Amino acid sequence: MSEAGSVNQQSNLRGAREEYYDQIAEYDLSPLWEVNKRLVTPEPVIEAKPHLWDYDAIRASLMRSGELITTKEAQRRVLILENPGLDHSHRITESLFGGLQLIMPGEIAPAHRHSPAALRFIMEGEGAYTAVSGERSYMKPGDFIITPAWAWHNHGHEGDEPVVWLDGLDIPMVAAFGPLFFEMYPDDVAPASVPPGDSLARYGANMRPVGQGWSKLESPIFNYPYDRSREALEQLRRDSDWDPCCGLKLQYVNPTTGGSAMPTIATFLQLLPKDFKGESWRTTEGIVYSPTEGSGRVIVQNGDETVTMDWKEKDIFCVPCWMPHRLEAYEDAVLFSFSDRAAQEKLGIWREIRGA
Ligand SMILES: [Fe+2]
């Protein structure tokens, strides 16, 4: 066949294919071979960006919300941490929601429940409490608190200073599957059915009640006090090997299984010694960090772009999926973090590359 004939034949075939694609579209069909390279990419294509929220810069805006709307009106007075790469879709990473919640003295955040699970990490203030599944617990800075999926919960504040916490929820994950449910309790406060401290007494002393089973996916402990977790890190620093990427890093676990304290979100507390210069860590989990002590910087590689962010106490920064990052500490530093690792591990899709 002549060259011209071959070009003609290819042009006819292209036209026939386009016509065919239009025809099958009427039956809600499309050809995989035309979209496959975009559908399943050789490596993750991530829209979220590495980003840092400077707590000192945003605190005044958060406090202003306390003058403009009550917790009762808002149900929850939360400023959403919007990832600048995700077009205000109320996500801090591809799969996680993040927010800063403010409760003022005397306020009550009315009781409700929802199918997404939530964590709280207390940033500042004392005197506020949360009640989860009928048990009340007072919150102090650094405490990590779980609100399991579909558990009744309300918050209140009996102190005299604003209380702020970091909220982390798996809303985008639940939304991807579909089953988003929400329900208000008929009264502001759900009735107390368990005395304060009950769950920690039953399960928080490396013991468990004999003859009682625990079959729920989340940890039976819903408040992990900071002083206990911090003391564990301090004890370990004396004779432990430092992980080259993460320093000393502990995961909050469900004591009945040893697995993640929450079924979808993994949570951690880590210590970095002064002058720590971490090796590169690349992982598929999208991570949200919030330092509780000290200062340092994180260097994130987002494709060709190197992003360096200086962090200090109470800042919040995120490192999206599959972006190599290195942590450095200018002084002794402690960082809380949460990620979608727990869900990814259950699905068999989590992976990491340690070092360069
Ligand atoms: Fe809630």
User: Per-residue pLDDT tens for 126-148?
Assistant: 999 999 999 999 999 999 999 99
Report how far ligand 1's centroid is from the alpha carbon of 280 (Å): 36
Q: For residue 278, how far is its CA from the centre of ligand 1 (angstroms)?
A: 36
pLDDT at 1: 66
94 pLDDT exceeds 80?
A: yes
pLDDT above 80 for 2 = no
C-alpha 112 to ligand 1 mean position (Å): 6
pLDDT category of residue 14 using cuts at 50, 70 and 90: very high
- Ligand 1 midpoint to CA 184 (Å): 10
The pLDDT of residue 75 is 87
Of all residues in the chain, what percent carry a pLDDT higher than 90? 92
Q: What percent of the chain has pLDDT over 70?
A: 100
Lookup: tokens for 163: 């209380």
Averaged pLDDT for residues 4-20: 91
Q: What is the mean pLDDT of residues 28-57?
A: 96
Instruction: Answer yes or no: are the C-beta atoms of 344 and 95 closer than 8 Å.
Output: no
For residues 288, 44, 305 and 324, what is the CA-based torsion angle, rounded to 10 degrees?
50
Ligand 1 centroid, distance to 134 Cα (angstroms) = 14
Task: Over range 332-356, report the average pLDDT.
Answer: 97
State the pLDDT confidence band at 6, using cuts at 50, 70 and 90: confident
CA of 115 to the centre of ligand 1 (A): 9
Q: How far, in Å, is the centroid of ligand 1 from the Cα of 75?
A: 9
Kindly tell me the sign of the dihedral angle through the C-alpha atoms of 218, 219, 221, 224: negative
Helices (H), the chain: 3-25, 32-39, 55-68, 71-74, 171-177, 198-203, 226-236, 341-347
Expressed in angstroms and rounded, the spacing between residue 114 Cα and the centre of ligand 1 is: 7
State in Å: Cα 45 to ligand 1 middle.
31
Q: From the CA of 174, how far away is ligand 1's center (Å)?
A: 14
pLDDT (mean) for 39-58: 97
In the reported structure, the alpha carbon of residue 159 is separated from the centroid of ligand 1 by a whole-number distance in angstroms of 21
**Cβ-based neighbours of 76, under 8 Å, separated by 6 or more:** 101, 109, 167
Q: What is the mean pLDDT of the chain?
A: 96
Q: For residue 312, how far is its CA from the centre of ligand 1 (angstroms)?
A: 28
- The pLDDT of 86-95, averaged and rounded, is 97
Span 177-195, average pLDDT = 94
What spacing in Å lies between the alpha carbon of 257 and ligand 1's midpoint?
25
Residue corresponding to tokens 């860590």: 281
| pLDDT, average across residues 90-118 | 97
Q: Of 317, 263, 228, nearest to 49 (Cα)?
A: 317
Q: Is the pLDDT of residue 210 over 90?
A: yes
Q: How far is the CA of 187 from the centre of ligand 1 (A)?
A: 15
pTM for the complete prediction?
A: 0.95
pLDDT greater than 70 at residue 87: yes
Residue 21 has pLDDT above 90, yes or no: yes
pLDDT band at residue 207 under the 50/70/90 scheme: very high
The model's pLDDT over 218-234, given as tens digits with 9 standing for 90+, comes to 999 999 999 999 999 99
Distance 349 CA to ligand 1 centre (A): 29
